[in-house]
Amino acid sequence: MSDKNATEMLRADPAGVSRAAEIVRGGGIVAVPTETVYGLAARADSDAAIARIYAAKGRPSINPLIVHIASMDEARKVADFSDEAERVAARVWPGSVTLVLPRRKDADLANAISAGLPTIAVRMPDHQVMRALITRVGVPLGAPSANLSNTVSPTSAHHVAATLDGRIDMILDGGDCPTGLESSILAIRQNGRWDQLRAGPVDLDALHRQLYGSALAPVQPSASIEAPGQLTRHYSPGKPVRLSASTKKNGEFLIGFGSSGGDCNLSESGNLQEAAARLYACLHLAAQSSRPRIAVSRIPDKGIGKAINDRLRRAAS
């Protein structure tokens, strides 16, 4: 093809991953499946590559990125791990928890990646395609969700193409994301205090109880100022959203749960994991439908249901 803005779409097989690694190593930006949502990956040590991510997404420069690593050796080169952070990492990685820790002064990272903060967000993903890509490129990757800023997050290659086609170098199609919600974000402070900065697939309150036998303290007000991405309207389907709907009104696209039916049902058996994995696909369908409004059935506020409700409240705000 001669159009130099065309975005390649390749299957996430070994040849596809190899091609993606070549592009990323050369400073390009590639959408890649992870267990949470599709990420838009670039080498974390390149100012130019990280700038391309912000530009492609239309992301405000005050909203920092998560650095994805494939080993603890890599993690310890970008962040200062206290004994407690080591203990938590050993417990949750690889997996859907992002740790916010002090950024190492000598970290080989683009400045813009942490938006000028003294901390850095780090995660070791548990998806073989993303892990293979990090390993092949050989340096940590900065990777926010692979969508235009303020739109619904992508859980399929098709969702990525819907907003980023022509704006990025390549999409690796690895099928649907198994977990389907962005990572839980946990800041571990130098005094040992935990701040949950974003609810996600892993229940941080339950984790704190397992490790320390006590509940997670409520979030300090300063924590939300530190994470600007959490304050802005996010995950917006671009239409009014009505929550805890028991019936469908005229003009509404109903996202149901359990026996409530709906135009798209999150989980007919009432399984919250399944509902999380299907949430963004249903929101994408609702956004594309000709109905002007969206209604969503009540989702139980327990376990991963807390993270689903967090995303729905943002979609409705």
Q: Which residues bind Mg ion (CB under 5 A)?
A: 145
- The Cα–Cα gap between 50 and 231 comes to 22
Task: Compute the least distance from the CB of residue 230 to ligand AMP, in Å.
Answer: 5
10 Å Cβ neighbour count for 234? 22
- Give the residue at shortest CB distance from Mg ion: 145
Question: Are 25 and 164 in contact, with CB atoms under 8 Å apart?
Answer: no
10 Å Cβ neighbour count for 265? 20
Task: Compute the least distance from the CB of residue 117 to ligand AMP, in Å.
Answer: 4
- Which residue, 7 or 63, is less far from ligand AMP as judged by CB? 63
Task: Compute the least distance from the CB of residue 295 to ligand AMP, in Å.
Answer: 26
Task: Compute the least distance from the CB of residue 252 to ligand AMP, in Å.
Answer: 28
Token pair of 114 as six digits = 């942490």
Question: Are 58 and 149 in contact, with CB atoms under 8 Å apart?
Answer: yes
- Which residue, 117 or 287, is less far from ligand AMP as judged by CB? 117
- Which residue, 98 or 145, is less far from Mg ion as judged by CB? 145
CA dihedral angle for residue 66, residue 44, residue 42, residue 231, rounded to 10 degrees: 30
Q: What residue spans of 213-246 are helical by DSSP H? A: 221-226, 228-231
- Which residue, 159 or 248, is less far from Mg ion as judged by CB? 159
> Which residues, at least 6 apart from 207, have a Cβ–Cβ distance to it below 8 Å?
88, 91, 92, 97
- Which residue, 16 or 64, is less far from Mg ion as judged by CB? 64
User: What residue 100 binds from Mg ion, ligand AMP, none (CB within 5 to 8 A, per partner kind)?
Assistant: ligand AMP
Q: How far is CA 293 from CA 241, 242, 290, 316, in A?
A: 6, 8, 9, 11
Task: Compute the least distance from the CB of residue 153 to ligand AMP, in Å.
Answer: 7
Question: Are 188 and 101 in contact, with CB atoms under 8 Å apart?
Answer: yes
- Which residue, 253 or 280, is less far from ligand AMP as judged by CB? 280
Cα distance between the two ends of the chain = 42
- Give the residue at shortest CB distance from ligand AMP: 229
Q: Looking at this protein, which amino acid is placed at residue 59? A: R
- Which residue, 58 or 292, is less far from Mg ion as judged by CB? 58
Q: Which residues of 271-285 are buried (b: 16+ CB within 10 A; e: fewer)?
A: ebebbbbbbbbbbbb
User: What residue 64 binds from Mg ion, ligand AMP, none (CB within 5 to 8 A, per partner kind)?
Assistant: ligand AMP
Task: Compute the least distance from the CB of residue 153 to Mg ion, in Å.
Answer: 6
User: What residue 35 binds from Mg ion, ligand AMP, none (CB within 5 to 8 A, per partner kind)?
Assistant: none
User: What residue 30 binds from ligand AMP, Mg ion, none (CB within 5 to 8 A, per partner kind)?
Assistant: none
User: What residue 227 binds from Mg ion, ligand AMP, none (CB within 5 to 8 A, per partner kind)?
Assistant: ligand AMP
- Residues lying near ligand AMP in the complex (CB under 6 A) are found at 63-64, 66, 100, 114, 117, 119-121, 144-145, 182, 185, 197, 226-230
User: What residue 24 binds from Mg ion, ligand AMP, none (CB within 5 to 8 A, per partner kind)?
Assistant: none
> Which residues, at least 6 apart from 64, have a Cβ–Cβ distance to it below 8 Å?
113, 114, 115, 117, 120, 121, 229
Task: Compute the least distance from the CB of residue 80 to ligand AMP, in Å.
Answer: 13
